[in-house]
Amino acid sequence: MGATLRRLRETRGLSHEQAGRAIQAPGATISGAELGRAGLRLREVADLCTLYGVTDHAQRITLLGLARQANRPEWWQSYRDLLPGWFARYLGLEQAASVIRSYEVQFIHGLLQTAGYARAVIRLSYGDAPAAETERRVELRLRRQDVLRRSWPSHLWVVIDEAALRRPMGSRATMREQLRHLIAACDLPHVTVWPLPFRLGGHPAAGGPVTVVRLPDGQLPDVVYLEQLTSARYCDDPGECEFYRHILNQLVIKAQPAGSAQAILSGILRET
């Protein structure tokens, strides 16, 4: 919806501020909607259609339908009491992504975690939480993984540091189950795993995990997600996104070939 509204506005030669005045909103509201960061009410979308000269009935109905869908509560809203605001935006990006590129240094990527492994990770930060709350957090993490099982799955492209593959989380049985799950995931055509062994030494992403999310439209910029302990940073600046894409590309060059991932993981499994 946002990408379509942006094209219509630019075709009319209008600024964000001019479009905003038509719906009695600041230009930042228009900019946010076009970037997929904010929603618009149906009446606002209808008024923008009028401003942009959209006279085709089918096109107006399509845009209003997209607006209605965009404003519909997402499935994770039932977990909103567990979600910090800075992470909720990432869930939206992840669920809409066509490609998710990531480097993981401490943990297995959340989209590839088993229930047992996820439970052990969650207890590191929420060890005092009631058992029922912990299980809801595990359930949320597993539901995120539907993006890999739907009919139009996201492509997950992840470099995993050997530290994450060997760091014990939970029991020995938990780690063995997690490693077997990773080995099986390598068979999926839309999941690509590159192990990054210790023996390769230092690398340009030593500072922490990095995720770059690509949205399917092709009109919106990639978004870089940098998670910290109690917050996260998002970036869609083209120059900075290109820097992080370059970092991930360098990691792939340095890492073991994706085709050898199963053999490497099987070796770690035998030692676990």
Q: Based on the domain organization, do 134 and 211 belong to the same domain?
A: yes
Whether 75 maps to a domain, the answer reads no
- Between 221 and 156, name the one with better pLDDT: 156
pLDDT above 90 (res 67):
no
- Among the residue ranges 12-21, 201-210, 239-248, 261-270, the one predicted with the least confidence is 201-210
Banded model confidence at residue 69, pLDDT cuts 50, 70, 90: confident
Average pLDDT of the segment spanning 85-104: 91
191-196 and 210-214 as β-strands: parallel, antiparallel, unpaired? unpaired
Residue 164 in tokens: 């994450």
- Say yes or no: 98 and 229 in one domain: yes
23 and 100 together in one domain: no
Sign (positive or negative) of CA dihedral 35, 36, 38, 40: positive
| Domain assignment of residue 235, yes or no | yes
Alpha-carbon separation of residue 143 from 116, 192, 216 (angstroms) = 14, 20, 21
Q: Are residues 157 and 93 in the same domain?
A: yes
Q: Decide if 215 contacts 98 (C-beta within 8 A).
A: yes
pLDDT above 80: residue 271: yes
235 — phi, psi (to 5°)? -145, 130
**CATH code for the domain in which residue 53 is found:** 1.10.260.40
Looking at the chain, the whole-number percentage of residues with pLDDT higher than 90 is 67
DSSP structure class, residue 167:
S
Domain that holds residue 224: 81-271
Q: Quick one: average pLDDT of 163-176?
A: 96
Question: Total structural domains in the chain?
Answer: 2
Please say if the pLDDT value at position 143 is more than 90: yes
Written as one string, the DSSP assignment of 193-254 is EEEE-GGG---TTTTS-EEEEE-TTSSSPPEEEEE-SS-EEEE--HHHHHHHHHHHHHHHHH
Report d(CA 214, CA 210) in Å as an integer.
Answer: 13
Domain check: are 187 and 241 in the same one?
yes
More confident residue, 73 or 95: 95
How sure is the predictor about 173, in pLDDT bands with cuts at 50, 70 and 90? very high
For the chain, the first-to-last Cα distance in angstroms comes to 49
Average pLDDT, the chain: 91
Q: Which structure tokens are listed for 81?
A: 């009491």
Q: Are the C-beta atoms of residues 1 and 32 closer than 8 Å to each other?
A: no
Give residue-wise pLDDT tens across range 109-139.
999 999 999 999 999 999 999 999 999 999 9
Is the confidence at residue 266, as pLDDT, over 90? yes
pLDDT in tens, 202-250: 777 767 899 999 987 665 778 999 998 888 999 888 899 999 999 999 9
pLDDT for residue 262 is more than 80: yes
Q: Report the CATH number that the domain containing residue 206 is assigned in CATH.
A: 3.30.870
For residue 175, is pLDDT > 80? yes
Q: Last residue of some domain: 70, 97, 116?
A: 70
70 pLDDT above the threshold of 80: no
Most confident of 37-41, 72-76, 179-183, 251-255: 179-183
Closest CA to 208 of 86, 89, 84, 106: 106
Cα–Cα distance measured from residue 99 to residue 2, given in angstroms and rounded to the nearest whole number: 19
Strands 191-196 and 155-161, sheet pairing: parallel
Phi, psi angles (nearest 5°) of residue 129: -70, 150
Last residue of a domain, one of 70, 97, 113: 70
In contact, 112 and 181? CB cutoff 8 Å: yes
Is 83 a residue whose pLDDT tops 70?
yes
Mean pLDDT confidence for 16-41: 89
Flag whether 223 is in a domain: yes
